[in-house]
Amino acid sequence: MKETLASSERTCDKNHKYIVCSQCAMQPICKPVQREQTSLNISDNYLSKRIDSSTNEVLFAQNQPLTAIYAVCSGAYKLTQCNRLNEEKIVGFRFPGELIGEDAIHPKAYAYNAIALNESSVCKVNIKELKACSQVVPDLQLSLIDLLTKQSAMSQSQFQSFIAKKTAESLIAAFILNIIQRKSVYDHQGGEVKLTISRDNIANFLGLRRETLSRIISKFQKERYIKQSGKQLSILNKNALIALANL
């Protein structure tokens, strides 16, 4: 877990795509600090620090006390919990531009493990420093409120698909739409994403068996709703998926 200083300018080394700060979820927090930095002498790098994670590396673990919140810069992370028999249960995925751990602000401990799905990186914002800053920079608190409600709205919308679930088909349709929508925010090739999540991980998250997922994905392809070539997934008939998801 290599720590480097964050910077507004992201370099794109080889095929590793970093999100730019202007599209980052942490922007409302970083921005006011930058604005005031001359008068307050708070450097750009004071609040935000970059961390690279390699595949399967744990960013933080469940029940650890909250020390920082994170924004994904590149790659992808899974959020997991363990039930009594140490079975892993995936409770969410996070992509570039999204936050991780912000929902630990109240309970003051992380509710899940955050694990990199592949070579990934985050911006880390120390919570103590954030609180200290928010005393000095009045805008920061309002930004934080905005940030929290925004992120909570996102979780809410995913909750809807689960609660609205009638069949496995509707759940999977909703999942595909959700992923496409979230990933297209930063790599804006509408209706097409590189699926970095394994079938097992998706099935685990959706509470389905890998076989069921596979069968329905096959069916969606036969019906020409979607097409997959390798890890690339494209939507051919978005309306059909929306109808199935029935949100």
Q: Which residues bind a copy of itself (CB under 8 A)?
A: 81, 83-84, 89, 91, 103, 105-107, 111, 141-142, 144-146, 148-150, 152-153, 155-156, 159-160, 162-166, 205, 207, 246-247
The amino acid sitting at 93 is: F
Residue 214's binding partner among DNA, a copy of itself, none (Cβ under 5 to 8 angstroms by kind) is DNA
Cβ closest to DNA, residue 152 vs residue 218: 218
CB 121 within 8 A of CB 71: no
CA distance 211 to 217: 10
CB 233 within 8 A of CB 195: yes
Q: Find the binder of DNA among 108, 131, 215, 224 (CB under 7 A).
A: 215
Both structure tokens of 147: 């940030």
Cβ closest to DNA, residue 128 vs residue 209: 209
Q: Which residue has the tokens 């996102």?
A: 154
Residue 210's binding partner among DNA, a copy of itself, none (Cβ under 5 to 8 angstroms by kind) is DNA
Residue 211's binding partner among a copy of itself, DNA, none (Cβ under 5 to 8 angstroms by kind) is DNA
- Tell me which stretch binds DNA (CB under 7 A): 16-24, 58-66, 136-144, 213-221: 213-221
Considering the complex, what minimum distance in angstroms separates the CB of residue 69 from a copy of itself? 11
Let me know if 2 is exposed, middle or buried by CB neighbors in 10 A (0-12, 13-18, 19+).
exposed
Cβ closest to DNA, residue 108 vs residue 231: 231
CB 232 within 8 A of CB 192: yes
CA distance 136 to 132: 7
